[in-house]
Amino acid sequence: MSPLCPLPRSRIGNDRKGPLPGALALFFRSVAVFCLAGTVGCPSGSGTSGVADGPGPCGPGSDIHGDFEAAVLDCPLDRPLTKVDVSDILVVQNPGNVLSCFVEWKTSVKALSELTVSCADDIVYTLSGQSAATEHRAFVMGLYVGAECNLEVVARTPDGAVGNATTSLAVGQVPDFLPPLTVLDSQPSKVQPGWTLFNLTNSYAKLPLVVAIFDENGRYRWYHRRAVTDTGADTDTRTLPEGILVGGTHGHVLPALIDWQGNVVWERKIFMHHDLRPFGDQGLLLYLTDTWACGLEHPSGAVVAWDPLPDKKLWKWNLCDHFLPKSIDSDWSHLNAAALPPDDSYMLVSSRNQDAIFKVSLPDGKVLWKLGGQSGGDFIVAPEDSFLRQHDPEIQPDGSILLFDNGLAEKREYSRALQLALDETSMTVTRVFEYRHDPDIFSPVWGDADRLPNGNTLILFGQRDQKRPTRFSEVTPEGQKVSDIALPPSWGAYRAERFTELRYGYMQ
């Protein structure tokens, strides 16, 4: 791009309300075009750099984001400008993820850079550098198959010199190990905007675990294939600012933090399963495991608080210390969640094979009550409000519990999202929300139900089946289905998480 005089937001631009009159606006746009072409200069006699070095709208610190109409009024037209050359733009595809890339470029002088990515109408964002340099690098992510994008670099010096350059990018196909996503139903105006994270597993084809993200239109936006031989059936995945937290399936899928570029930040040899989540604000995590305790012939489920960086266990809570069923077999506890409220004052421990949820106070570990259970719990629950083989209880702001009620073939062969309000004084339970698919879907082993910011509920009907597809359904508080996205049969997912803070990359 030709030299550009620094165009500050002038006093006129700040004071003026609304656009300039049509003819005057056209005049200033014309002047701006000459300025862009390098025919308009800034004040002379202010130093050899060609840019004013004293106070004023064209000097250091001028706001070159100001609109052209206002800026031209304060930018005299009698001197040449410093030129910033932007060169050697290079776009390198991320070898581990075709939906992301690295962009590199150089500037002739030290400058702050911005990279704006524009892909049709649905991706327009800018990544901004924080320090002046001559060599620049950005990581771009969140692209989708078939996207044709324009990449524009704008470089600015502290004294107001500007340069730019553009290039293009066409996104190719994702690897064959990502199955197609089929959009069965979509009402965009009613869907909670955001992307959905999930673990992708296929035990029939014995494919390694993949963690993936798709958008509201059923398009993949990110993925990472783990370097494991296990399919990752019961693997938990969660978003963190620095990347994706992955862990589960006993010792076959080790807990790890994967950054957005696909690098393993850390990985630990921890035997865990089903649930891995942040605990407190000091970087601690909770995970589930099995432990030999209580003198039992079979292991007991346990919850562990853990600091992953020094790999230090802080405490362990064993279910068998507080509860033992009448009959104990090798998988009698089968813990699958340890949900936390915002203040971490207690946890809800879900025991799938006991059809029960335990409220455990923290940090003393005392069981406050048991909800459900084959031998009865501490609450009065109507038969139609009882749950079977439940997954992922989620504590709501009002204290109620949203969970995925899997059902059980011998008793109730359908699955549903279920929300229960608990009165801990009268020890009664009231159903406040229920969603059953029409026709019914039975997900005997996996599933998830999450409340979204707009009040909708994201429900994962997870399957491990060669005939029944896994479904990601979103429904309104009234039970209207507004989105339904399916995986092909044989492909499954254990959990799903919708996140609304979209990530498109960063300057490096």
Q: Three-state SS across 131-152? A: CCEEEEEEEECCCCCCCEEEEE
Q: Which two tokens stand for residue 246?
A: 């992955």
The count of other CB atoms within 10 Å of the CB of residue 269 is 8
Based on the domain organization, do 30 and 102 belong to the same domain? no
Q: State yes or no: cis peptide before 439, omega within 30 of 0.
A: yes
Q: Number of structural domains, the chain?
A: 2
Q: How far apart are CA 434 and CA 429, in angstroms?
A: 14
Domain co-membership, 53 together with 119:
no
Residues in the chain: 508
pLDDT reported for residue 82: 65
Q: Is 126 inside any structural domain? A: yes
Is residue 337 a part of any domain in this protein? no
Predicted local confidence at residue 248, as pLDDT: 84
Same domain, 69 and 115: no
User: What is the pLDDT averaged over residues 80-106?
Assistant: 92
Look at residue 91 and tell me if it is in a domain.
Answer: yes
Do 56 and 128 share a domain, yes or no? Answer: no
Residue 6 predicted with pLDDT over 80:
no
Residue 49's pLDDT band (cuts 50, 70, 90): very low
Give the tokens for residue 132.
Answer: 């002046």
pLDDT at 397 over 80: yes
SS3 419: strand
Q: Look at 60-74, 207-221, 319-333, 382-396 and tell me which has the smallest mean pLDDT.
A: 60-74
Residue 91 shares a structural domain with residue 161: yes
| Banded pLDDT at 121 (limits 50, 70, 90) | confident
Q: How many other CB atoms are there within 10 angstroms of residue 139's CB atom? A: 19
Q: What pLDDT band is residue 203 in, cutting at 50, 70 and 90?
A: confident
Report the run of H or E that residue 123 belongs to, with start and end: strand 123-128
Strand order across the beta sheet in which 448-451 lies: 182-186, 481-486, 471-475, 457-461, 448-451
Q: What is the pLDDT of residue 41?
A: 34
pLDDT for position 45: 34
Q: How far is CA 436 from the centre of its chain?
A: 27
Which residues, in sequence order, are bridge partners of residue 243? Answer: 240, 259
Cα→Cα distances 33→27, 29, 120, 175, Å: 10, 6, 25, 45
- Proportion of the chain above pLDDT 70, given as a percent: 84
Examine residue 322 and state whether it is found in any structural domain, yes or no.
no
CB-based contacts of 389: which residues, under 8 Å, 6+ apart? 352, 353, 355, 405, 406, 407, 408, 444, 445
**Mean local confidence (pLDDT), 357-368:** 98
* Residue 176 domain-assigned (yes or no): no
* Token couple for 308: 């992953």
Last residue of a domain, one of 170, 204, 220: 170
Residue 62 has pLDDT above 50, yes or no: no
Tokens of 137: 């690098």
Q: Which of 32, 49, 73 is the last residue in one of the domains?
A: 73
Q: Do residues 65 and 107 both lie within one domain?
A: no
Residue 113 belongs to domain with CATH number: 2.60.40.10
Domain closes at, from 124, 145, 170: 170
Do 101 and 37 belong to one domain? no
Q: With respect to residue 164, please indicate whether it lies within any of the assigned structural domains.
A: yes
Distance in angstroms (rounded) separating the CA atoms of residues 435 and 429: 17
Q: DSSP letters along 231-286, please?
A: --TTEEEEEETTEEEEEETBTTEEEEEEETTS-EEEE----BEEEEEEETTTTEEE
CA–CA gap between residue 410 and residue 342 (Å, rounded): 37
In a domain, 33, yes or no: yes
Q: How many helices (H) and strands (E) does the chain have?
A: 3, 32
Identify the domain containing residue 165 by its residue range.
Answer: 86-170
Q: Is residue 491 domain-resident? A: no
pLDDT over 90 at 172, yes or no: yes
pLDDT of residue 29: 38
Query: Is residue 149 domain-shared with residue 101, that is, in the same domain?
Result: yes
pLDDT tens string 420-471: 999 999 999 999 999 999 999 999 999 999 999 999 999 999 999 999 999 9
CB 506 within 8 A of CB 460: no
DSSP 8-state symbol, 29: H
Residue 34, φ and ψ in degrees, nearest 5:
-60, -40
Residue 369 has pLDDT above 90, yes or no: yes
- 166 and 106 housed in the same domain: yes
Are 95 and 162 within one domain?
Answer: yes
Half-sphere exposure (Cβ direction) of 392: Cα atoms closer than 13 Å:
28
Question: Domain check: are 127 and 57 in the same one?
Answer: no
